[in-house]
Amino acid sequence: AEEVEESLRSPICCIMGHVDSGKTKLLDCIRGTNVQEGEAGGITQQIGATYFPAGNIRERTKELNADAKLKVPGLLVIDTPGHEPFTNLRSRGSNLCDLAILVVDIMRGLEPQTLESLNLLRRRNVKFIVALNKVDRLYGWKKSKNAPLMKTMKQQLGYVVDEFNKRVEQVKTQFQEQGLNSMLNYENREMGETISIIPTSAISGEGIPDLLLLLVQWAQKTMVEKLTYVDKVQCTVLEVKVIEGHGITVDVVLVNGVLREGDQIVVCGSQGPIVTTIRSLLTPYPMNETRVKGTYMAHREVKAAQCIKIAAQGLEHAIAGTALHVIGPNEDMEEAKKNVMEDIESVMKRIDKSGEGVYVQASTLGSLEALLEFLKSSDVKVPVSGIGIGPVHKKDIMKAGIMLEKKEEFATILAFDVKITAEARELADKKGVKIFCDDTIYRLFNKFKSYIEGIKE
Ligand code: GTP
Ligand code: MG
Ligand code: NA
């Protein structure tokens, strides 16, 4: 029987880092799966979640003889993409996790998306540990399958240890340059402000026991308040997807509370609030990922923390990154509708009151917020007169076109990571509305910036 404390929920842990640092492979190593090799081009392009039950964690860490019992029922790990254009997904992951693993390739050190991830985590005040991955690539490294660190370190020859130490020092210096103290986990007894570095290999599994144990022990020691289970449903929409046999589904992360089949739910939609009923609650099997097709378990009810695929009618306009609300028996529907739309309304408030400004369109609420934030803090001070989520349609061109009479240079749409319909493109050309589009926030902004600067000259 699991010695699990009733009151704690599973911590939600996000795995982040630069392209090809080995995030997915590390999870594959823990799961005993091969998700990474099934990815197109070996690239992660979606958020995926995996549930690790306490039993599996105990099994994987038993060699460490950790007497500390597991108080959490498991660990919910969210994999994120490292490729630059997916800032929005990294941001969404870092938004809802309790803690994080920042993966650094020992052969490469800190890279651009390591820094970006680091800054996202710092901004959200999320505590993290560093997995210094690919230690098996050090010249002369002796592999020892799934071994704890101390055991594997003892086996290495002097020159390998020297090379290892040299690289660890380099990484520590790079963190220092970011204003962060870091230390190898077996030297870092306090785990306060100093970040723990855990050397790992996703290929030989070395250091994985240490990584898992540290995550769980650290979470249950320092995050008890955050991890204390509460009944009130706290749930975020991660993705909206079409799944064969289930129609349009939403992947959600249930942080607290219970979801049940037949529950009436309200979700924020781009065309207004969506009220619907949960038709089915699906999860992948434990130790399997949400992204892998055809392996779902159906449930009558699911308790937090868990990642769940919800099938229900009318979800096509649901907005990823917003809250999902369950209507209680005595709850006022109008109130609930108002509440779920608050996520989008707080963004609406950023629209310039003068009515003069550009039109901004993005794929999700999270990425829209990121773009608005970016515009606000940039050196080019540009007001925003309107926003939209999802593909750019004719109606968006019409709205942006209003500026043609007020301030022509603002008759512009900044389209971030969204498609532009052929009709919209045609209408824009006819009316003289400019569309700038890109799937990275930086490039999109630079395109727009050179346009604005061109006008000023
Ligand atoms: P993105 O999701 O695309 O950002 O990449 P990722 O960080 O998930 O890296 P991924 O798991 O796709 O691994 C990238 C490559 O590095 C693959 O070819 C892996 O087999 C390899 N790799 C990952 N971890 C290790 C490791 O510990 N040792 C060695 N030798 N190779 C590794
Ligand atoms: Mg990956
Ligand atoms: Na990859």
**Is the CB of 28 within 6 Å of ligand 1?**
no
β-partners of residue 199 are 132
- pLDDT exceeds 90 at position 196: yes
Residue with CA nearest ligand 1 atom 24: 22
What pTM was estimated for this model as a whole? 0.83
- Of 81-90, 96-105, 192-201, 242-251, the one with minimum mean pLDDT is 81-90
Q: What is the DSSP letter of 285?
A: P
86: buried, middle or exposed (CB in 10 Å: 19+, 13-18, 0-12)?
buried
Q: Where are the beta strands (DSSP E) in 327-452?
A: 358-362, 384-389, 412-416, 434-438
Predicted pLDDT of residue 398: 94
**Who contacts 311 (Cβ-Cβ below 8 Å, separation ≥6)?**
243, 246, 247, 248, 249, 278, 279, 280, 282
CB 406 within 8 A of CB 355: yes
Tell me, in angstroms, the distance from the centre of ligand 3 to residue 44's CA. Answer: 6
Q: Whose CA is nearest to atom 13 of ligand 1?
A: 22
Q: What percent of the chain has pLDDT over 70?
A: 97
CA of 129 to the centre of ligand 3 (A): 20
Q: Is 24 in the pocket of ligand 1 (CB under 6 A)?
A: yes
139-194 confidence digits (pLDDT tens): 999 999 999 999 999 999 999 999 999 999 999 999 999 999 999 998 887 777 89
Most confident of 69-73, 268-272, 290-294, 299-303: 299-303
- Average pLDDT in the 408-413 region? 94
Integer-rounded Cα radius of gyration of the chain = 24
The closest residue, in CA terms, to atom 23 on ligand 1 is 22
**From the CA of 82, which ligand is nearest?**
1
Q: What angle do CA 22, 36, 89 make, to 5 degrees?
A: 70
Place of tokens 């022509």: 408
